[in-house]
């Protein structure tokens, strides 16, 4: 059973589902696809630090509401807690004060979104400060970042520092464009992609489906590596266990 580590599934929290009914529709799609666990990752963007507790409380209430509804509907799917956190210079200080921004609040992993059009000059320093606090950054959908597409070696340098990368499932199918798919294939074959997430926002817009990407990934890197990426790594992250960014499972 698969784990979707990046999914906008909480009702009426961000640009994901607008109500509980839509969230449940997404959960049914995920369950049918063989997904067992979803990490809800609503957007967190730079804001006033005194506004953060209210944002966290609102997201937690939405999470509790969805998990309760899943039990009532007898949908066998677990929703865990995290955020997709936009990169900004003060991010390490925010995370130090609010560990709930990390996946499951474990202070071990955090899903970080770079600006789509660039690789900011402060990126290395912010990621270093997170790592120095014992928190491993996970770069969300690097194949959709124009800065990384222009200079693919930037992602290589991040992985060599122990940082993880999470690709979007639909990018394996070409839905993020040909350039993104070509870069993604090259990165996967070199071992620079560690996680696949749906980045789902609704039942129609990039739905919570991982199986199609899994099939493509097996063709690119073999069954063992694909299973490591799709199944093993997300489970290690949820357990707060260390993932070796440069680890390679023998192909085929």
pLDDT digits (tens, 9 = 90+) for 119-173: 999 999 999 999 999 999 999 999 999 999 999 999 999 999 999 999 999 999 9
The predicted structure's pLDDT at residue 112: 98
The CATH code of the domain that includes 81 is 3.20.20.140
Q: Would 73 be classed as within a structural domain?
A: yes
Classify residue 18: in a domain, yes or no: yes
> 201-239 pLDDT, tens per residue?
999 978 999 999 999 999 999 999 999 999 999 999 999
The reply to whether 246 falls in a domain is no
Which residues, 6 or more positions from 232, have their beta carbon under 8 angstroms from its beta carbon?
none
Burial class from Cβ neighbours inside 10 Å (0-12, 13-18, 19+) for residue 157 reads exposed
Residue 136 forms part of a structural domain = yes
The answer to whether position 244 is within a domain reads: no
Range of the domain at 76: 2-238
Q: Is residue 248 part of a domain?
A: no
Look at the chain and report how many structural domains it folds into.
1
Q: Would you say residue 139 lies in a domain?
A: yes
Assess if residue 245 is contained within a domain. no
How would you classify the pairing of strands 78-81 and 43-44? Answer: unpaired
């Amino acid at each position: 059973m698969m784990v979707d580590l990046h999914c906008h599934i909480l009702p009426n929290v961000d640009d994901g589902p607008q109500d509980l009914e839509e969230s449940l529709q997404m959960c049914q799609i995920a369950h049918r696809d063989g997904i067992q666990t979803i990490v809800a990752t609503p957007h967190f963007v730079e804001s006033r630090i005194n506004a953060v507790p209210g944002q966290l409380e609102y997201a937690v209430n939405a999470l509790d509401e969805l998990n309760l509804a899943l039990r009532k509907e007898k949908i066998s799917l677990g929703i865990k807690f995290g955020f997709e956190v936009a990169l900004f210079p003060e991010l390490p200080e925010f995370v130090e004060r609010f560990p709930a921004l990390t996946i499951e609040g474990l202070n071990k992993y955090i899903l970080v979104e770079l600006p789509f059009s660039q690789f900011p000059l402060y990126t290395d320093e912010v990621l270093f400060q997170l790592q120095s606090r014992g928190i491993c950054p996970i770069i969300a959908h690097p194949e959709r970042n124009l800065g990384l597409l222009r200079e693919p070696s930037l992602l290589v340098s991040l992985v060599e520092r122990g940082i993880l990368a999470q690709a979007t499932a639909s990018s394996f199918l070409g839905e993020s464009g040909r350039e993104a798919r070509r870069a993604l294939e090259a990165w996967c074959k070199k071992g620079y992609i560690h996680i696949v997430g749906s980045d789902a926002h609704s039942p129609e817009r990039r739905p919570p489906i991982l199986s199609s990407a899994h099939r493509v990934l097996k063709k690119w890197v073999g069954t063992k590596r694909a299973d490591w990426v799709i199944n093993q790594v997300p489970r290690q992250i949820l357990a707060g266990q260390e993932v070796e960014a440069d680890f390679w499972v023998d192909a085929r």
